[in-house]
Structure 1
Amino acid sequence: MNKLLKLFLVLLACWPLAGTPQAVSPLTLEEVLDAALRAFPGLLAAEQRKEAAAGDYQTAQGGFDTLLKIQNRWSVRGVYENQNYDVNLEQPTVFGGTTFFGGWRRGTGDYPVYEGKSLTAEDGEVRIGVTIPLWRNREIDRRRASLQQAELGQLIAGHEYDQALLEVRRLATHRYWDWVLAGQRLRIAERLLEIAERRNEGILERVRAGDIPEFEALDNRRAIIERRERKVAAQRLVEQSAIQLSLYLRGTDGEPLLPSGNELPSAFPEQEPSVNVNFDETVQTAHRQRPELKRIGLQSRQTEIERDLQNDQKSPGIDLSVVGAQDIGQSPDKTNRDELYVGLNFDIPLQRRIAGGRAQAVAANLQRLKWERRLLEDRIAAEVKDVLSAIAAARQRLALGKDQQRAAGQLEEGEQSRFDLGDSTLLIVNLREMAHGDAALAAAEAAGVLFKAHADYQAVLGNEIAHPAN
């Protein structure tokens, strides 16, 4: 019994008490990006473009659907009483614009002599035939052009989604580092306030002892009030950046999640992602991977298909048709008919203004896309140059900021020692402390700029955002 009681007491001691605060892991960039890619509304909207493009492709496929036509006609009043039933199936194909067709018809009753062909055998007449374009619509027609363009449209929608994905990753990363920087600013403000509050009692004791004038105590109270104001402002920035970050940090239900202060990382990562500083290689990579360039290339291909179609439509239409027909059952004249027809149809637009005008518009659009591609390539090259410059400058700023922070920290410690010995004033000590805080903030801002520049670098190249270890 004693052993069981001891075991129970040990388990009770290990069991966490209700209301005991649990350790919260820092929020990582990977968690933010995963949440954004899962539930960010702008990205979900971009994904619907792919669904719409898939619907357009299915619509284009519908141009090759089998067409069923049924016609019924009854003579309800007149000299001749007859009935006509006609069922026709038509199947367009992608093979040279060829269309197959077949059907069944039945005509009964009395017909005038000039409509004698409408009369069929008792079980009707079956027919089958084919129409083959010999010139216009042979290499390309509207059905095939629409299908090819819709297929390219699906790829375009995919690249538009990739472009939105890159932008969401970039903006989510920016908002994350803004939040981390706001946390650093708050910690610096809290440290400065804690220093002023901690030494206040010592200063009052020295004033009471006559070691320093009462003016120094008043100056310290002023410093405390000023630093409290800085802390309030820093806390506001943390809350503001957390609200902006919550647009990308979303729960499983898709609703924004507001990160708490306990989830703030303690500092920026020490190790930054690697970059290729070779300008020419980086530009080539960006030109190869950027979804905007891929999209323009596919749009140009769509336009070229339309150009080929309109050039084809300028040509004469010459169609070869072959039709065979056979009666089923006993015919009224006791003979069954087996028929074979061969036809050649001509369709020649004399002015050709429709196809000519469309071809002119398509040629202009093709030239427009060419210049837009040129502008985009130049813009990408400028973006690469700018982001490489930003990374290099941020690295230098960060190195100088850390050196300045170390020097300011040493001066702060030295000035505090001098004040303790009576060789300095509180005004100088406050200036040293504020200079140390400003140097620490400058170093943190440089780190924030550096990691945001790396996010821009990945977006400029068309890569996924690199995740540094937190």
Structure 2
Amino acid sequence: MMTNQVALLVFLLLPAALYAKVQTLVLDDVLSAAEKSFPALLATEQRRMVTEGDYISAQGAFDTVVKSQNRWSVIGLYENQNYDVSVEQPTPYWGTTFFGGWRRGTGDYPIYDGKNITATDGELRAGVNVPLWRNREIDRRRAGLKQAELAQLIAGHDVDQALLDIRRQAAYRYWDWVLAGQRLLIAEHLLKIAEERNSGILERVAAGDIPQFEALDNQRAIIERQERRVAAQRMLEQSAIQLSLYWRDEKGEPQMPTTEQLPKDFPKEPVVDADYHKAWVHAQTQRPELKRLDVQAKQTETELELQKNQQAPAVDLSVVGSVDNGKGKSGLNRDELYVGLNFDFPLQQRAAKGKAQAAAANLQRLKWETNLAENRIAADIKDALSRLAASRQRLSLIKEQQKTAEELENGERERFDLGASNILFVNMRELATGDAAIMAIEASSNLFKAHADYLAALGTHTVVK
């Protein structure tokens, strides 16, 4: 009595988790884990971080620049001191640059350097430089910033592409694992049948109802089916190892799925709209490679626009004003205002023309690559729809074949019980049924893999529930 009470107490104190049902591993779980921790995807994410850094660097072209120049004449006919601090601020507005500064010159200067002399508190100056032709609509700073911004979009599309590829691969590995689990169940079922009838066969042999070699043949069948089970077990372990690369724990480490987590069967067939035109229109807006090529074309167009602009003459308007503070030696007011017009025009223009030609060629190359990508996407959609249709037809035919094989197996087993057949034929019928069952689960696996291909062809992340 005391023993029973102790056992009951231990049972009640055991953690409830030990009795919790092991949760079935579904495809969504694998995909979610892969999206969070798969190394290849994380590496692609880092490339996006690189482009963010490049964008910040491109913004640096508009950073405020402070310069300081100081000069002291310590030996010579004229001893003087010069201090000069300037600030320059480029802007994205028509290439305009603002600048200003302060300088102070003291000491003795020759007559021809008289402009270096300032009042006691130095000279304040401010000005602006405005491009009137070249660098007005676009310049290297603005082009670099725009291209860096577009590079961020390209990196985002690369992440989307990696995500699509990983989801597709993870789905393949998941359905391989489910297939291997179903294959093991079939192998164990066939072995169980042969083992369960062994005692009955031995009794019939002892009674002289059937010859001894029937028992020997059944032993051979048991050994053969044991070998099949070992092969199926190995296939399940291999597929679990491959699946663990995508199904990762909270730390991002691969985790092995257990046999208890296998689903009992394949889910219902996925519903797919077989309209090719709708699928093609959807893929045009979703496939990352098309988006990436489009953005790359915009980058190249920006470069082409820049190089065409660089072939124009550089005509810059500059306005500079300065004010002296304090008292000067001469006592004169030296406030000044300058208006300048600067001109720069390389005659051959080979640098800009060559770069423009290269940009135009790259733009045409991207158009051809886009055309090829569209052809491949169209082919992907057609192939995925064809594979889905063929997989469904094949699965339907195999199920009919499986049903017929089961009827023949049951009939052959009845004939054996009546003494009208032998173990050889019974074993052949059972194996035929088992092979038909394996073909059925392989067809189911191929159907869901075809669905994964279809989703990848569309460029969508929708998953099978």
Tell me, yes or no, whether TM beats 0.5: yes
C-alpha separation in 1, matches of 2:381 and 2:17: 52
Is the 2:97–2:130 contact (alpha carbons within 8 Å) kept by the matching residues of 1?
yes
Which residue of the partner structure matches residue 160 of structure 1? 158
C-alpha separation in 2, matches of 1:173 and 1:417: 43
Deviation at 1:8, TM superposition (A): 11
C-alpha separation in 1, matches of 2:353 and 2:257: 61
C-alpha separation in 2, matches of 1:64 and 1:211: 100
Q: Deviations over 1:329-351 (max 9, x none)?
A: 11121223110000010000111
C-alpha separation in 1, matches of 2:60 and 2:242: 46
Which residue of the partner structure matches residue 258 of structure 1? 256
Give the residue type in structure 2 aligned to 1:355.
A
Structure 1 regions of 5+ residues with no counterpart? 1-5
Deviation at 1:276, TM superposition (A): 1.8
Deviation at 1:9, TM superposition (A): 9.3
Give the residue type in structure 2 aligned to 1:357.
G
Which residue of the partner structure matches residue 3 of structure 1? none
Which residue of the partner structure matches residue 452 of structure 1? 449
C-alpha separation in 1, matches of 2:141 and 2:20: 65
1:67 to 34, 59, 65: 65
1:382 to 365, 379, 385: 379
Which residue of the partner structure matches residue 291 of structure 1? 288
Pairwise mapping of residues 22-421 of structure 1 onto structure 2 (< 5 A)? Answer: 23-269=21-267, 271-421=268-418
Q: Deviations over 1:400-456 (max 9, x none)?
A: 111111111121111111111111111110011000000100000000000011111
C-alpha separation in 1, matches of 2:119 and 2:309: 43
Deviation at 1:79, TM superposition (A): 0.8
Q: Residues 36, 17 of structure 1: CA spacing in aligned structure 2 closer, same or farther, 3 A cutoff?
A: closer
Q: Residues 252, 80 of structure 1: CA spacing in aligned structure 2 closer, same or farther, 3 A cutoff?
A: same
Is the 2:71–2:82 contact (alpha carbons within 8 Å) kept by the matching residues of 1?
yes
Match of 1:103, SS state, is strand
Q: Deviations over 1:40-87 (max 9, x none)?
A: 001101111211111111011000000111011111211111111100
Deviation at 1:261, TM superposition (A): 1.2
Is the 1:170–1:465 contact (alpha carbons within 8 Å) kept by the matching residues of 2?
no
C-alpha separation in 2, matches of 1:417 and 1:90: 99
C-alpha separation in 1, matches of 2:18 and 2:109: 100
C-alpha separation in 2, matches of 1:415 and 1:19: 47
C-alpha separation in 1, matches of 2:257 and 2:293: 39
Deviation at 1:16, TM superposition (A): 4.0
Deviation at 1:467, TM superposition (A): 2.6
C-alpha separation in 2, matches of 1:336 and 1:274: 88
Deviation at 1:21, TM superposition (A): 6.6
Structure 1 range deviating more: 296-305 or 45-54: 45-54
Is the 2:175–2:448 contact (alpha carbons within 8 Å) kept by the matching residues of 1?
yes
1:463 paired with 2:460, answer yes
What TM-score results when the alignment is normalised by the length of structure 2? 0.97
Match of 2:197, SS state, is helix
Is the 1:121–1:336 contact (alpha carbons within 8 Å) kept by the matching residues of 2?
no
What RMSD, in angstroms, separates the aligned Cα atoms of the two structures? 1.7
Q: Residues 65, 20 of structure 1: CA spacing in aligned structure 2 closer, same or farther, 3 A cutoff?
A: closer
Is the 2:99–2:127 contact (alpha carbons within 8 Å) kept by the matching residues of 1?
yes
Deviation at 1:36, TM superposition (A): 0.5
Is the 1:455–1:465 contact (alpha carbons within 8 Å) kept by the matching residues of 2?
no
C-alpha separation in 2, matches of 1:71 and 1:214: 111
What TM-score results when the alignment is normalised by the length of structure 1? 0.96
C-alpha separation in 2, matches of 1:69 and 1:47: 38
2:435 to 434, 438, 444: 438
Give the residue type in structure 1 aligned to 2:161.
Q
Q: Deviations over 1:248-289 (max 9, x none)?
A: 0101111100111111111101x2222121112211111111
Structure 2 regions of 5+ residues with no counterpart? none
Match of 2:266, SS state, is coil
Give the residue type in structure 1 aligned to 2:304.
R
C-alpha separation in 2, matches of 1:191 and 1:228: 11
C-alpha separation in 2, matches of 1:191 and 1:155: 54
Match of 2:401, SS state, is helix
Deviation at 1:15, TM superposition (A): 4.6
Q: Deviations over 1:87-111 (max 9, x none)?
A: 0000000110000000000001111
C-alpha separation in 2, matches of 1:276 and 1:370: 30
Give the residue type in structure 1 aligned to 2:359.
V
Q: Residues 17, 168 of structure 1: CA spacing in aligned structure 2 closer, same or farther, 3 A cutoff?
A: closer
Match of 1:102, SS state, is strand
Structure 1 range deviating more: 457-466 or 339-348: 457-466
C-alpha separation in 1, matches of 2:15 and 2:379: 59
Is the 2:28–2:463 contact (alpha carbons within 8 Å) kept by the matching residues of 1?
no
Is the 1:273–1:466 contact (alpha carbons within 8 Å) kept by the matching residues of 2?
no
Is the 2:101–2:124 contact (alpha carbons within 8 Å) kept by the matching residues of 1?
yes
C-alpha separation in 2, matches of 1:156 and 1:277: 31
Match of 1:86, SS state, is strand
Deviation at 1:10, TM superposition (A): 7.4
C-alpha separation in 1, matches of 2:18 and 2:416: 42
Identity of aligned residues (%): 63
